[in-house]
Amino acid sequence: MFFIDRSKKILMVNEQDSLPGRIDEMQFNESHFVNNSSMKGPFPEGMSEIFLGMGCFWGAERLFWNIEGVYVTSVGYAGGFTPNPLYEEVCSGLTGHTEVVHVVFDPKTISLQEILKIFWEGHDPTQGMRQGNDMGTQYRSAIYYSDETLLDQIKKSEVNYNEALKKEGYPEITTEIIPLKDYFYVADYHQQNLAKNPIVYCGIGGCVVKLPDYC
């Protein structure tokens, strides 16, 4: 059990103060509940991937799993310090992780720009360490990339969406954009949860502002 000080949940923990975690990886059914593809791979040749934090990962994953060109999705934790964290540990704010959806896609069918359009328009990237009523570092907006060649497109989309949001009176984007260090899968219960339990609450929602097209 972890005592959660809500006043500190919005403060990023220092690595030296983070929980120690564990060596053993989370065991879960690797078959995707919606399309039966393997969530851990190996993935088909030519696939690309991106890791997106949009608040509650249940709703974020649902935005992507039926999109044409998306091979498979999964949910997990990234951006923190604690190896193989438990859900309760992440909720404590003492791991540094945020909830993310891992999107594996075929760039010949769907472009990164189209993936990012769903990302930006699907949540509010200006809220800092929260998303709607969900508050804490685990709900921060984030993009983690494992392929350095994607960074230029990611930054261009950020600039374009930031300009679009400012025209509508929103503050600056707070999205964390950094290379992926680690990605930790979560238990079966969380994977494709809104397909298994469609009436479960999830507070994800966007700003009703479109990402402008760019070259």
Catalogue the active-site residues.
56
**Contact between 71 and 104 (Cβ < 8 Å):** yes
Burial of 17 (C-beta count, 10 Å sphere; 0-12/13-18/19+): exposed
195 sits in the region (left: phi over 0; alpha: psi -120 to 50; else beta) called alpha
Nearest to 77 by CA among 69, 94, 63, 64: 94
Amino acid at 152: D
Q: Output the CA torsion 92→96→100→106 (10° steps).
A: -160
* 3-state SS class at 177: strand
Task: Give the 3-state secondary structure of 107-149.
Answer: CCCCCHHHHHHHHHHCCCCCCCCEECCEECHHHCEEEEECCHH
CA Rg value for the chain: 16
Structure tokens at 200: 């479960």
